[in-house]
Structure 1
Amino acid sequence: MDSFKIYTQSDIDLLINERVAEEKLGQHVYVYDCPTCAEGEINIQALMDSPAQYVLLGIPEDIGVRANLGIAGTKTAWNSALKALLNIQSNPFLSGEEILVLGHFEIEEPTDASLQGLRKKVNTIDALVYPIIQKIVNAGKVPIVIGGGHNNAAPIIAGASMGTGGHKINVVNIDAHADLRDRAEGRHSGNGFSTALGSGYLNQYKIFGLHQNYVNQTLPNYIAANPNIKAFYFEDLLQSPKSVSENWNDFIADLADPSGLEIDLDSIEKVLSSAQTSSGFELNDIRNILLSNRKNFAYLHICEGATEMEDGRVDIKTGKTIAYLITDFIKALQPHISQKP
């Protein structure tokens, strides 16, 4: 059965490579603690009682990608990213105590592996994901979600909206694709944001780095006609006299709270994914954006990366890439010794 696995300290300890005279983030992160809760129950008060501000969880699935006729593999990113994160040094820049590692969703393969069956299963995943995001946000914490396909943006946005008392969420998505495909096709990784818009949970939707080569004939006019959707095309970034971070800051200047941040790893050059790109952002462009951030995003969603694809491609660096993005996101809003008054 589909479920959510809550981690214990033993689960964390198994992933830590201990060394003499070193302390790792994994030795300082928090795990969920609720002695009075039933097994598997996530209690809002127990989340509120944790000193950690950021709640990390994984959605290791590629059903949504396959439902969009993509190549399987995104289910492999979570474990490698978590291990890479837990083995980062604990130090004055980031101790690990900022993070509660909650667990991951365990999602069974559908018995019907047809395209229709896969798309039906994505609806099931939606219903599994949003209540947990809702509880995390309702507890005043910031979920950091590692996917998985970009289909999971829809339940994350829904859960964040419900967790903020029903306020619509404004989202900026760093992505080569708009993921605004027709909802009538059935759920998949290509219509997470059209689903969120149609369901009434998403207000402003901004796409940063959208590739002109990946928009259909009608999408540019649709975006231009919709005042709540804005796109900054990657081709325009290439020709801009401003830096990526300057353009980013201009682009999100009017992004109202509550807001969420989406990072599709297929927007970054040479990161292994179903839609891996040879032309895109450099990893350090995205790191610069995150480290200079001063906006209190309601959530962070990193998706579409993989360490191993069904077609045989392998890249073990993907986990470390995700770990860099997680730590940069947290560090930007935490006081530490490199920040001058």
Structure 2
Amino acid sequence: MEKLILFTINELAKITNHRSGEIKFGEKMLTVPKEVDVISFLGICEVQYVLFGIPEDIGIRANNGRPGAASAWSSAIKSIANIQHNKFCKGSQILVLGHLDVSEEMEEVKNLDFNNVADRIKQSQLVEKIDKEVSHIIFNIIKSGKIPIIIGGGHNNAYGNIKGSALAKGKAINAVNFDSRSDFRILEGRHSGNGFSYAYEQGFLKKYFIFGLHENYISKNVLDTIKKTEDRIRYNTFESIKIRKEKEFTFELFQALEFIQNDFYGIEIDLSAIPLIPASFMTLDGFSVDELRKFVSYFGKNKNAAYLHICEGAPELGDEKNDHLVGKLIGYLLTDFIKSNNVLITL
């Protein structure tokens, strides 16, 4: 894992706001000790969850979206370090592994223009390089018996998460995606809009459920593809649940889980589906933060939940005075997942 930059205990201490009479996650979370083999440590450390960041927005640029998601990891880890360690959730359950080194790729993509065909090809090639690194790291985390929680980057990283998980499990996995868009677009070169379609086409994704699609943003081509493969790809729409009230939110959670729960599955969260959250593709309407938290908790409490991925949030695109809020939201989702998943561990 040459492209992995380990998070150190000193870095953790610097971002933790120590306060008398309180214990923060940053005081209890583990890091990989210096000069210790990472893979060996993953196998022997007594934690259940491994935190991993991907500070990039190359896949978003390759999809003609607004850059900014690269800042999510930095914002999130600061918020997570300052969550209270208590009986409801304990920082000692988490290993902060570190983040993927994408500095060279991020520098290279700065001078590329989406509207230039040659540049767009280069963007996709850079995404493919990241795919390989992400899948390798996720493979090693899951192979060690741990559950990865992946933060940051565009939704292009769903591909690496799914591939790495499938290789570690020895078979294709399922996925449930909380998203206003399908990210199941045509195979036109890698970007943030086709991570799931590439994983499906290459045999790493078995079943796929898209939760809360916005009807205004589903192309006819994607709808036709889903119709042909409804035994393996299903969806519901935000409008059918919240606007026309044809479906009920809680029952739709049940339906989605019924579809994927017989195999290991990944939980994918696109923060751009939440209204007014700073993201590459912001929306004015959508499910609430409360409903998103219920979603994460619901799918996290199943024994086949293989990983959690929170992406597309872009703190630097928001209000400068409140640029910590995306990180804070990610912290809530992380603890919701751990709390629900811990029920399985204690049984």
TM-score normalised by length of structure 2: 0.90
Match of 1:73 in 2: 68
| Residue identity matched to 1:125 | I
Query: Sequence identity, in percent?
Result: 39
How far is 1:254 from its partner?
2.8
Of 276, 287, 296, the residue aligned with 1:290 is: 296
How far is 1:311 from its partner?
11
Match of 1:301 in 2: 309
The aligned length equals 330
Match of 1:325 in 2: 333
How far is 1:194 from its partner?
0.8
Larger displacement relative to structure 2 (86-95 or 220-229): 220-229
| Residue identity matched to 1:121 | L
Matched, 1:61 2:80: no
Aligned with 1:171: secondary structure? strand
Residues 1:335 and 1:232: Cα distance change in structure 2 (over 3 Å): closer
Q: Render the CA deviation track for 1:187-210: whole Å, top value 9, x for unaligned.
A: 110110111011110000110001
Of 269, 273, 277, the residue aligned with 1:267 is: 273
How far is 1:246 from its partner?
2.9
Q: Render the CA deviation track for 1:29-70: whole Å, top value 9, x for unaligned.
A: 111247553xxxx31x32121111000000010011001010
Q: Render the CA deviation track for 1:256-307: whole Å, top value 9, x for unaligned.
A: 2211100000111221101111111100001122334421310111000010
Of 93, 98, 101, the residue aligned with 1:98 is: 93
Match of 1:211 in 2: 214
How far is 1:253 from its partner?
1.4
CA contact (8 A) 1:80 1:319 kept: yes
| Residue identity matched to 1:158 | K
Matched, 1:189 2:192: yes
| Residue identity matched to 2:59 | G
Aligned with 1:30: secondary structure? coil
CA contact (8 A) 2:154 2:192 kept: yes
Structure 2, unpaired ranges of 5+:
113-118
Structure 1, unpaired ranges of 5+:
none
Larger displacement relative to structure 2 (107-116 or 193-202): 107-116
Matched, 1:86 2:81: yes
Residues 1:310 and 1:88: Cα distance change in structure 2 (over 3 Å): closer
Give the whole-Å Cα distance in 2 for the aligned partners of 1:223 and 1:147: 28
Give the whole-Å Cα distance in 2 for the aligned partners of 1:283 and 1:36: 39
CA contact (8 A) 1:59 1:104 kept: yes
Match of 1:179 in 2: 183
Instruction: Note the aligned Cα RMSD (angstroms).
Output: 2.2
Write 1 or 2 for the structure with the bigger share of helix.
2
How far is 1:333 from its partner?
2.1
Match of 1:16 in 2: 16
Residues 1:311 and 1:13: Cα distance change in structure 2 (over 3 Å): closer
Match of 2:129 in 1: 124
How far is 1:335 from its partner?
4.7
CA contact (8 A) 1:272 1:314 kept: no
How far is 1:116 from its partner?
2.0
CA contact (8 A) 2:276 2:283 kept: yes
CA contact (8 A) 1:54 1:98 kept: yes
How far is 1:240 from its partner?
3.2
Give the whole-Å Cα distance in 2 for the aligned partners of 1:18 and 1:34: 24
Aligned with 1:84: secondary structure? helix
